[in-house]
Amino acid sequence: MLQSIARRRLFGALGGTILAAMSLALPSAQAAEPVKIGFGMALTGALAGNGKAALIAMEIWREDVNKAGGLMGRPVEFVYYDDQTNPSVVPGIYTKLLTVDKVDLVVSGYGTNVIAPAIPIMMGRKKVFMGLFGLAANEKFNYPNYFQIMPAGPDPKLDWSRGFFEIATGLDPKPKTVALVGADAEFARNALDGAKTNAEKFNLNVVYNNTYPPSTTDYTPVVRAIQATNPDVVFIASYPPDSAGMVRAINEVGLKAQLLGGGMVGLQYAALLTKLGPMLNGITNYDFWVPAPTLDFPGVNEFLAKYQAKAQDAGVDPLGHYLPPYAYAYLQVLGQAVNAANSLDDAKLAEYIRSNEFDTIIGKVKFGKNGEWASTRVLQVQYQGVTSDGLDQFLKPGARAVLYPSEWKYGELKTPFPQ
């Protein structure tokens, strides 16, 4: 059901299985026909917490850009539906956006599993498609008008975990074996494929390589099976519910390793940071932005101040460090392209995005030939000195030491796990 949402009441009108919204134009950009941007977003289902946080960030961008005069002097409106974190409903959502709602531009919802099924729809209509955190989602399609805001790098499967394995090979003593484990879902399978290749590249013997069903609730048997192989390094590719379950099981079983973590989605969220607290200490995991002097990009703290004020009222992730800055940034890229090209023509926009570097609140963004970032900036951070379930400790540098890449480093690795 399509419905209007007032700027200051983001979630007040959300309800039902499929939701849609058209945002109100702001006075500074009311004169012309609006530019309509359409998308699906996880407002229910497993990724709803992050989907709602992303939506707040996107609304902040819409407010900011309309205050500045809109796109090509036209106000921006959103038309969106709840994808329920369900890949099967995604093709229908984007077909409706393009054929019934007749939006001008489209962007993806959050996550690999809902991005991949939308790409064939975009290919059929040659639409520019900005992706929000899809790991190697375009690999099988090689669609030239797809652009991914997640900083995985030009070879996303490998770049995703390369930093974790580079850290591993620098340990003393040098590790010899690795266990690979993750959910039987598209993101995790992609991450594990890349991790296996990286493990072989760095001469680590894979002694365990298994997936578990996404419906798993008891991770103790999984952790005990890993423990039986006595690996030096453990790489885990998981979504938020299983990330929490794995951390608890690891602490309960007492799994030991020189390095553990790598690809655990959810450990970046405030909800899990506070629930897991000191159990996180020693885990080394991917991230995309944390409070650190090396990552103080122009505009990011101003954005977070706006986001955190809105998130408190909306009841979503109060930190907003993980996904929200990138949800704002992928619209920054699209908006800058529209204004620079002075056009909504997808071919012109795609050419501009391919050929230019963008200034965003998450730093400079340049895309490679496959629509991924031209160079990787997947961070590897280690949780250190977490003393309680309090949130304040994660608002300042130190609780998440930045270990990789070297140009963003802030802190030193502590080994082994657990400490």
- CA dihedral (134, 136, 140, 143) in degrees, to 10, reads 70
Would residue 316 count as lying in a domain? yes
Residues 316 and 282 in one domain: no
Residues 255 and 240 in one domain: yes
Residues linked to residue 129 through DSSP beta bridges, in sequence order: 106, 146
Residues 255 and 403 in one domain: yes
* Domain carrying residue 68: 2-151+296-366
Q: What is the DSSP letter of 25?
A: P
Q: What is the pTM of this model?
A: 0.87
Residues 110 and 253 in one domain: no
SS3 36: strand
Residues 256 and 394 in one domain: yes
Would residue 413 count as lying in a domain? no
Would residue 271 count as lying in a domain? yes
Would residue 402 count as lying in a domain? yes
Q: What is the DSSP letter of 24?
A: P
Would residue 376 count as lying in a domain? no
Would residue 34 count as lying in a domain? yes
Residues 145 and 49 in one domain: yes
Closest by CA position to 163, among listed 268, 285, 307: 285
- Model confidence over 142-157: pLDDT tens digits? 999 999 999 999 999 9
Residues 270 and 327 in one domain: no
> For residue 283, which phi and psi values (nearest 5 degrees)?
-70, 135
Q: In the Cβ-directed half-sphere of 160, how many Cα atoms lie within 13 Å?
A: 29
Closest by CA position to 65, among listed 50, 78, 82: 78
Would residue 377 count as lying in a domain? no
The count of domains in the chain is 2
Per-residue model confidence (pLDDT) at position 312: 86
Residues 30 and 57 in one domain: yes
Tokens found for residue 318 = 């109060």
Per-residue model confidence (pLDDT) at position 313: 86
pLDDT in tens, the chain (419 residues): 333 333 333 444 343 333 444 444 444 444 589 999 999 999 999 888 899 999 999 999 999 999 999 999 999 999 999 999 999 999 999 999 999 999 999 999 999 889 999 999 999 999 999 999 998 899 999 999 999 999 999 999 999 999 999 999 999 999 999 999 999 988 899 999 999 999 999 999 999 999 999 999 999 999 999 999 999 999 999 988 999 999 999 999 999 999 999 999 999 999 999 999 999 999 999 999 999 999 999 999 999 999 999 998 888 999 999 999 999 999 999 999 999 999 999 999 999 999 999 999 999 999 998 999 999 999 999 999 999 989 999 999 999 999 999 999 999 999 999 97
Residues 225 and 131 in one domain: no
Integer-rounded Cα radius of gyration of the chain = 21
Would residue 301 count as lying in a domain? yes
Per-residue model confidence (pLDDT) at position 31: 58
Residues 92 and 64 in one domain: yes
Per-residue model confidence (pLDDT) at position 71: 98
Q: Are strands 284-287 and 357-360 parallel, antiparallel or unpaired?
A: unpaired
CATH number of the domain that residue 396 is part of: 3.40.50.2300
Residues 137 and 162 in one domain: no
Residues 138 and 177 in one domain: no
